[in-house]
Structure 1
């Protein structure tokens, strides 16, 4: 039985999501919402689905069509109002990253999910990659991690807003490798030291290059070095990765299968590692946004709601990207930007607590403010029950 969905946003990414929904047999496109109704109609004409309803309000169109969930592909500053309205209307939400345009608004959404009991999942689409799942399984087989290093060097000429941003690399792209690092290490950030700079030939107004060193809980270090104005010998869009652990090293070029070299590993141990890798890769529900949609539908079918603190039935697993789990990736971005601005090491908990105070001060819904105020700590609220 398919689940009827409302797609909110008919721009470039909205059209990609429209195609993905159409290709998923368990999903039914019930309506498309955009402030520009002509854009919504044009997207449907392009897809050959002129029979689908359009509107300018997601909740209203869901009520008219009987849709049961929302896919939010609006611009970041619209994520908070669109998702909040859907959650309070009893509609689970799958949203494009980032969870919100600011960390305080992201915390507000986590509290709103708790208050309403509805699932809110963020599509961190680059996690849905079989090679990445393979690398994580190999990392687990190598024992305690010491250092995870990634390099990202590209030279895209986007034009438009990205070339005018103050922190183009950190704000628009770094959330992907930051999220990947959490996934690979199974660890959360403790602190960061970051430096930004802009090469003299850069076509960006803001700093288009950065290096960040994160301390992760458990003691491992994650080192990110990247540039968006580095022509020649470019890396994959997934970056180039190296993990150093107690029993060996694993590398991944971002486009092909990872390579592992384990020390003093016998045939039996290698066989066990190979089996673990196969099992891990077999858990990938799909690639890219198709994988995110598949996991969202799996979670809805299993009865998943808002973590943490919900009552889970047998077999119900919090999906990757559930709002509480995903916020830490956005916190890493904001902490890195703050560190670069200050010129010193920044504790992630400081960033989280400051954002929590701003969320409390700016929250317009009494029940959401009360839930935020009841959190014993931000980190505790985000990590309790979250799947990593």
Structure 2
């Protein structure tokens, strides 16, 4: 018997990425597919030639198959029910972001994680990119000195259709969570407060607020400023955002598309109005897979080794806290302290 017996919960579009990854691992066996619409699960089974039962109830699927791991690829509003059910039945869970659609649900999930003793890891695929890994190393090595100001711009105009168009806060909840997590990853710091102004610009095709400006104070004393819009057509940034990290000795730049670099004060630079700087390029040395595959590699490696994955819920809760504190700030018009 293979060590990882997986039930896939949610058989929509993103589930294909997870299923295709699992089918490429010799230590994984998909033993069941679950969807509230049985036809979706059956279509998934037929698409990949999976001779496995399909279910509309997760608890029934786990009990019938003897699964020990659940892939939660359901819509965000289902995450609390799926995760707590799976953990309560002794399964580990790997799931799509966000952990939950409310802070109350996130806290309830964390309580279940603590009681279960099982692993719940959350997909943060944008950490698994050779360029962001190089940027993180540049910052951690002190190349630009002590970090004081981190800036991310995210401007795109995707027409998704579906649930995102109906969300109250599509940008912050469904997309900015990635950029918030990237900021934590790049700096190695956690949030302590936020002021956020959220709004819906003219011409937006979203029902909820599709743009925001957020100012976070981080635990290392630095400030992270996020500017974003999901209804900005023309001159797009990358999906990875465009970054400027300013330290006491210089500045690191990453446009999300090309390798990061820094400009730092040159050794022995003489005092003058603008001091001389020198460019520092960073090799893309990280050997892992990128995107979802890289994050899933880490999840499985950690589970096999009996350690917490990099994007374990105990870490990811800090990213989730950034989201819901930002929403509270936008609602109340005041700075919000972040406590996890």
TM-score when normalising by structure 1: 0.79
Task: Look up the SS of the partner of 1:169 in the other structure.
Answer: helix
Which residue pairs with 1:228 in the alignment? Answer: 230
Aligned mates of 1:260, 1:24 — CA distance in 2:
38
Aligned mates of 1:26, 1:265 — CA distance in 2:
52
Residues 299-353 of structure 1 show CA distances to partners (whole Å, capped at 9, x for unaligned) of 121123xxxxxxxxxxxxx21221111011111111111112222211113xxxx
Would the aligned equivalents of 1:26 and 1:297 in 2 still touch at CA under 8 Å?
no
Which residue pairs with 1:37 in the alignment? Answer: 38
Would the aligned equivalents of 1:31 and 1:65 in 2 still touch at CA under 8 Å?
yes
Task: Look up the SS of the partner of 1:230 in the other structure.
Answer: coil
Which residue pairs with 1:135 in the alignment? Answer: 135
1:290 aligns with one of 287, 290, 293: 293
Task: Look up the SS of the partner of 2:159 in the other structure.
Answer: coil
Which residue pairs with 1:344 in the alignment? Answer: 334
1:154 aligns with one of 130, 153, 156: 156
Which residue pairs with 1:327 in the alignment? Answer: 317
Using the TM superposition, give the Cα deviation of residue 274 of structure 1 relative to its aligned residue in structure 2, in angstroms.
Answer: 5.6
1:241 aligns with one of 240, 243, 248: 243
Q: Does 1:5 align with 2:6?
A: yes
Q: Does 1:301 align with 2:304?
A: yes
1:214 aligns with one of 208, 213, 216: 216
Higher helix share goes to which structure? 1
Q: Does 1:16 align with 2:17?
A: yes
Aligned mates of 1:90, 1:162 — CA distance in 2:
32
Which residue pairs with 1:117 in the alignment? Answer: 117
Q: Which runs of 5+ in 1 are unaligned?
A: 305-317, 350-378, 380-388
Higher strand share goes to which structure? 2
Which residue pairs with 1:183 in the alignment? Answer: 185
Which residue pairs with 1:87 in the alignment? Answer: 87
Aligned mates of 1:250, 1:78 — CA distance in 2:
39
Aligned mates of 1:147, 1:85 — CA distance in 2:
41
Residues 200-236 of structure 1 show CA distances to partners (whole Å, capped at 9, x for unaligned) of 2222233222111111112100000011121111010
Using the TM superposition, give the Cα deviation of residue 187 of structure 1 relative to its aligned residue in structure 2, in angstroms.
Answer: 0.6
Q: Which runs of 5+ in 2 are unaligned?
A: 269-277
Which residue pairs with 1:102 in the alignment? Answer: 102
CA shift in 2, pair 1:208/1:130, >3 Å: same
Would the aligned equivalents of 2:97 and 2:123 in 1 still touch at CA under 8 Å?
yes
Using the TM superposition, give the Cα deviation of residue 259 of structure 1 relative to its aligned residue in structure 2, in angstroms.
Answer: 1.6
Aligned residues: 327
Aligned mates of 1:193, 1:262 — CA distance in 2:
30
Would the aligned equivalents of 2:261 and 2:281 in 1 still touch at CA under 8 Å?
no
CA shift in 2, pair 1:289/1:148, >3 Å: same
Would the aligned equivalents of 1:150 and 1:240 in 2 still touch at CA under 8 Å?
yes
Would the aligned equivalents of 1:58 and 1:70 in 2 still touch at CA under 8 Å?
no
Task: Look up the SS of the partner of 2:262 in the other structure.
Answer: strand
Aligned mates of 2:137, 2:217 — CA distance in 1:
22
Which residue pairs with 1:260 in the alignment? Answer: 262
CA RMSD of aligned residues (A): 2.1
Aligned mates of 1:78, 1:162 — CA distance in 2:
15
Residues 234-286 of structure 1 show CA distances to partners (whole Å, capped at 9, x for unaligned) of 010111011111222111111221122233369xxx9x9968x73xx24x4x2
TM-score when normalising by structure 2: 0.90
